[in-house]
Amino acid sequence: MFTVSINCFAEWREQARTLLMRGVTPKSISWQHDKQSALVFDDGIDFMSLPVLYQSLSIPKAFITMAEKVACCRDDSRWALLYSLAWRILFENRDLMSIEVDSQVVKALRMRKAVGRDIHKMEAFVRFRLIDSQCSNYGDYFSAEDEYYVAWFEPDHLILPIAVTFFIKRFTNMSWSILTPDGCAHWNQSSVMFTEGIHKRPDIDDSIEVLWLTYYSNIFNPARVKIKAMQSEMPKKYWVNLPEAPLIKTLMRNAGHQVDAMLEGASTQPWHKTKKSTFVMAAQKKMQAHTTKNTS
């Protein structure tokens, strides 16, 4: 049994290639997630000394794209699963990934879906806050003249390195940091830097946030309360980091009264100001004449 320690997808890919070329079966490898990558082997066999059985192995690109996402899944079985799938694609069926009822394929696709959803939710729910004075935590990586935004997010999976691309493309000309417990990403408008994760949400105020809360409260239609539909898309676990979430309770509580008031006081007399306005009356008359002429 070989024990292979790796800590990221690139390492898995490298080691998996070496092992596949030597025809090492999935069953004889134990994959470990570790900071230090290493190949350990039992029975005194030097792994690299095994003969190379397959000089050139080509794996479909679609598999690599999928594997890269699966690799972000916070699930210890992912490396073994990916190796086993790679093995089967190479030596059993090149179209394996199309058989979406195969148990291993189903498992990998579920992991990819979970990671994809997590990335999508991160793109949606990260909230940047503008920092007044330049934060010195990251030294001179940032220019003191630029506006600097900071966000805190807690992803389910290890997605930061992949998810950060979206933010770079969208906020290229802004300086920002996204802080997460697993790692932090910093963008200074020209390059990205990763640092160790932090474990507590930073305490930052942003004066624009009150406008966001105003918008959130007013775009809500109290006559259409569908709280389950809301929660299926924005589960409670995200609420802790969303500035608008504390409003939900109040909006729900007041919705009933608001609708009752609308229904009871349903129809009112036309507004006197409109009737008195000769400008409005004349304009309406003109438009209505035009309409009747065109439609008759």
Partner 1 sequence: MNIQRKLSILADAAKYDASCASSGSNNKNSRNGKGVGSTSSGMGICHSYTPDGRCISLLKVLLTNFCLYDCSYCINRASSSVERARFTADEVVQLTLDFYKRNYIEGLFLSSGIIQSSDYTMEQLVNVAKSLRKDHDFRGYIHLKTIPDASPELLRMAGVYADRLSINIELPSEHSIIRFAPEKNPITIHKSMGQLKSHIDESKEDRKKSKKIRSDGRNTKAKASRFIFSPAGQSTQMIVGADDSNDMTILSTADQLYGRYQMRRVYYSAYSPIQNASAALPAKAPPLVREHRLYQADWLLRFYGFTVDEITEPHSEQNGMLDLDVDPKLAWAIQHRDLFPVDINRAPREMLLRIPGIGAISVQKIIRARKFRALRYGDLTKLGLSLKKVAPFVQTHDYNSSNRLLERADLKQYFMSSESPQMSLFG
**Binding to partner 1 (CB under 8 A): which residues in 32-51?**
none
Of residues 170-189, those binding partner 1 (CB under 8 A) = 170-174
Q: How far apart are CA 111 and CA 157, in angstroms?
A: 10
Nearest C-alpha neighbor of 161 from the set 115, 114, 200, 127: 115
First to last CA, the chain: 87
- Taking the complex as a whole, the smallest distance from the CB of residue 105 to partner 1 amounts, in Å, to 9
Q: How many residues bind partner 1 (CB under 8 A)?
A: 79
Is the CB of 61 or the CB of 236 nearer to partner 1?
236
Is the CB of 55 or the CB of 173 nearer to partner 1?
173
- Taking the complex as a whole, the smallest distance from the CB of residue 11 to partner 1 amounts, in Å, to 29
Q: How far apart are CA 55 and CA 215, in angstroms?
A: 61
Rg (CA), the chain: 29
- Taking the complex as a whole, the smallest distance from the CB of residue 1 to partner 1 amounts, in Å, to 31
Nearest C-alpha neighbor of 151 from the set 171, 128, 168: 128
- Taking the complex as a whole, the smallest distance from the CB of residue 158 to partner 1 amounts, in Å, to 21
Over the window 96 to 135, marking each residue x when it contacts partner 1 by CB under 8 A and - when it does not, the resulting string is --xxxx-x--x-------------x--xxxxxxxx-----
- Report CA-CA distances (Å) from 245 to 163, 234, 255: 23, 10, 16
- Taking the complex as a whole, the smallest distance from the CB of residue 91 to partner 1 amounts, in Å, to 16
User: Any contact of residue 211 with partner 1 (CB under 8 A)?
Assistant: yes
Q: What are phi and psi of 234, to 5 degrees?
A: -130, 75
- Taking the complex as a whole, the smallest distance from the CB of residue 137 to partner 1 amounts, in Å, to 20
Is the CB of 169 or the CB of 200 nearer to partner 1?
169
- Taking the complex as a whole, the smallest distance from the CB of residue 171 to partner 1 amounts, in Å, to 6
Q: How far apart are CA 6 and CA 27, in angstroms?
A: 17
Give the interface segment with partner 1, choosing from 2-10, 35-43, 156-164, 203-211 (CB under 8 A): 203-211
Burial class (CB in 10 A: 0-12, 13-18, 19+), 167: buried
- Taking the complex as a whole, the smallest distance from the CB of residue 5 to partner 1 amounts, in Å, to 32
Strand, coil or helix: 39: strand
Contacts for 148 with CB less than 8 Å, ≥ 6 apart: 130, 131, 134, 135, 142, 175, 176, 177
Of residues 215-274, those binding partner 1 (CB under 8 A) = 215-230, 233-234, 242, 244, 248, 251-252, 255, 259, 261-263, 265-268, 270-271, 273-274
Q: How far apart are CA 142 and CA 138, in angstroms?
A: 7
Options 64, 214, 240, 246; binder of partner 1; rule CB under 8 A: 214
Options 43, 92, 95, 140; binder of partner 1; rule CB under 8 A: 95
Of residues 136-165, those binding partner 1 (CB under 8 A) = 149, 151
Q: How far apart are CA 112 and CA 68, in angstroms?
A: 9
Is the CB of 15 or the CB of 188 nearer to partner 1?
188
Residue with tokens 């790679």: 86
Is the CB of 36 or the CB of 267 nearer to partner 1?
267
